[in-house]
Amino acid sequence: MLAVSNLSAGYGSFQALFGVSLEVRAGESVAVLGPNGAGKTTLLRAISKLIDASAGEITMEGARLNEVPAHEVIGRGIAHVPENRRLFPRLTVEENLRMGAFSSRKKFPERLKFVYGLFPRMEERCGQLAGTLSGGEQQMCAIARALMSGPKLLLLDEPSAGLAPVVVQSIFALVKRICAEGFTVLIVEQNVQQVLKVVDRAYLLETGRIKSSGDAAALAASSELKRAYLGL
Amino acid sequence: MKPLAWIGVAALAAVPLTGIGNYPLHLIIMCLLWAYVYTSWSIMGRLGLVSLGHGAFLGIGAYTVVMLWNHYGFSPWLGAPLAVLLSLAAALLIGLPCFRFRIVGHYFALVTLALSEVTRLVIVALRDHTGGSLGATPNTALAQGNTWSLDALQFSDKRVWFYVILAFWLAGLWIWARLDRSMTRLALDAITHEEDAAASVGINVTRSKLFVTLVSAGMTSVGGVLYAQYQLYINPETVSGIGISLQMVFGAIAGGMFVMLGPTVGAVFTLLLQEGLRLALGDAFKQFPALDLAIYGLMLVLFIIYMPKGILGAALEWRARRRATPAAAPG
């Protein structure tokens, strides 16, 4: 479904990604793991066109994404849940969800029903300003907002960041349910143990390069992972 | 609320029929005109696009229509649309690069500040055609005892202007309210806080910003046309440049740019302040010509610190709190 080949990207003169290639097949859930500063967020920002790639190619269902402007990426079926949620704080939860369906407004009522079914907590909080939600609820709201566009591929950027351990558990349970609903998921995480229980496959990203990849279970047992994180 | 609003408008529309004097009527007209202009400004300002350059659009509106009439004999009916087009072009010139290259916040304000000064300087520099800093007067079409000329859009009867400007003020409020309830407002609110996330949900950031900028600039230039045709005298200082631009910002913020009637309250407040300062300071103005600007600047700082929601915004909030208190604590 999504194919990234030899992607390089960065900010100004600073290069963060060096020839990264990866693939996400339909129905799959894939993780990109790596320590701080490995380029995980940059990778997702490049896929959703918030930054331009300096080299390489990104294709979604065979169609090249490189020249597509950021606001049209969602029309290709890719929804991005950004790092630190990035909700619209002065809008209510429901208005945030309405914005999530900005590109397909006619489907708003039916999608809202679907999303409220998935997140009953969001329905309880529908009139509350998004900026006043708790951290876990904000993460839920951010995921719900992304689902409102009816995406084929969901990009999740560190959904567990800054949340209490108990809440992290519930967020990963939620990610698992979203995968089970048939969404294809590309998730970027530092919380290796948890995320490997949720995804099918994973890539290991280190200083902007893919160091290894494989089945979640195999990677969990591999020494590469320990080396990347612990320097062993 | 709705019937109350209609009663208010009807009462306002009945004012000229009470045989009110020319000077109070003039003050009311100026209030409505500036209320319209401040409302136009706040359409952008409330969505995080703080422009210090709306004097440019006001100036383009006023000067285009008068210059076309004086030099080419173009009726304001033709001049006004051209003036609006010209100011839209100026808005595009400044907006497109700013929004494309993500110049936001203070930097955007600085760029717009430059636009308004450039407009003023251009008007002054073209003094052979524009009259320079002495200003310009539209050639009168009211000779031979005519009291009005529809073709030249000149009316000596202030009551006519009262109704014309009342209509524009109402139209301005209507546009404000339409926009307030629209998806565009939500989208721009989203952009103001999280530009990347807004783009990710499919909002075309550049186009949304450009849209409100064009609406606001076009409305402001119509304000310039009305000003010129009503006052029949324009001057680069009073219709463009930093002074008038700052006055618009001040008026909208002082009244409350997040509520519909905020800029209108701001216009009343500014006018009272102006007249009050004139009475209180008298000759001091002649010695220190920028004194009023200094006072606006100081008050703007005070408002932003102590009353960021403006007079009307703060008043509505206070009322909402007072209503909420007894409900929250029953018995």
List, for residues A155-206, the tens digit of each pLDDT value.
999 998 888 888 898 899 989 999 998 899 999 998 888 889 889 999 999 8
Whether A12 shows a pLDDT value over 90: the answer reads: no
- Nearest chain A alpha carbon to B199: A71
Residue B75 lies in a domain: yes
Residue B66: predicted pLDDT:
95
Task: Tell me if chain A has a CB within 8 Å of the CB of B47.
Answer: no
pLDDT along chain B (331 residues), means of 10: 85 88 92 97 92 95 95 93 96 93 89 93 92 89 79 87 96 95 88 88 91 96 96 92 90 92 94 83 72 80 89 91 66 40
The answer, as to whether pTM is greater than 0.80, is: yes
Tell the CATH topology of A2-77+151-230.
Answer: Rossmann fold (3.40.50)
Residues of B in contact with A105 (CB under 8 A): 183
Enumerate the domain spans of chain A: 2-77+151-230, 91-148
Whether A152 shows a pLDDT value over 70: the answer reads: yes
Whether A80 shows a pLDDT value over 60: the answer reads: yes
Contact B203 A71 (CB under 8 A): yes
Whether A62 shows a pLDDT value over 50: the answer reads: yes
Nearest to B189 among A80, A90, A100 (CB): A90
Contact A103 B202 (CB under 8 A): yes
Residue B141 lies in a domain: no
Residue B16 lies in a domain: no
CATH number of domain containing B224? 1.10.3470
Residue B2 lies in a domain: no
Whether A232 shows a pLDDT value over 70: the answer reads: no
Q: What is the 3-state secondary structure (H, E, C) of chain B?
A: CHHHHHHHHHHHHHHHHHCCCHHHHHHHHHHHHHHHHHHHHHHHHCCCCCCCCHHHHHHHHHHHHHHHHHHHCCCHHHHHHHHHHHHHHHHHHHHHHHHHCCCCHHHHHHHHHHHHHHHHHHHHHCHHHHCHHHCECCCCCCCCCCCEECCCCEECCHHHHHHHHHHHHHHHHHHHHHHHCCHHHHHHHHHHHCHHHHHHCCCCHHHHHHHHHHHHHHHHHHHHHHHHHHHCCECHHHHCCHHHHHHHHHHHHHHCCCCCCHHHHHHHHHHHHHHHHHHHHCCHHHHCCCHHHHHHHHHHHHHHHHCCCHHHHHHHHHHHHHHHHHHHCCC
Residue B3 lies in a domain: no
Size of interface A-B (CB pairs under 8 A): 67
Contact A99 B187 (CB under 8 A): yes
Residue B4: predicted pLDDT:
86
Residue B77: predicted pLDDT:
94
Q: Please give the residue range of the domain that contains residue B256.
A: 21-136+149-328
Residues of A in contact with B186 (CB under 8 A): 91, 95, 98-99
Residue B329: predicted pLDDT:
47
Residue B14 lies in a domain: no
Task: Tell me if chain A has a CB within 8 Å of the CB of B129.
Answer: no
Residue A44: predicted pLDDT:
93
Nearest to B197 among A86, A98, A103 (CB): A86
Residue A231: predicted pLDDT:
59
What are the pLDDT digits (tens) for B89-108? 999 999 999 998 888 888 99
Nearest chain B Cα distance for residue A122, angstroms: 18
Nearest to B199 among A70, A75, A146 (CB): A70
Residue B131 lies in a domain: yes
Total number of domains in chain B? 1
Contact A82 B190 (CB under 8 A): no
Nearest chain B Cα distance for residue A35, angstroms: 24
**CA–CA dist A194, A114 (Å, integer):** 26
Percent of chain A with pLDDT over 70: 98
ipTM over 0.90: no
Contact B193 A71 (CB under 8 A): no
What are the pLDDT digits (tens) for A27-41? 999 999 988 888 999
Nearest chain B Cα distance for residue A108, angstroms: 13
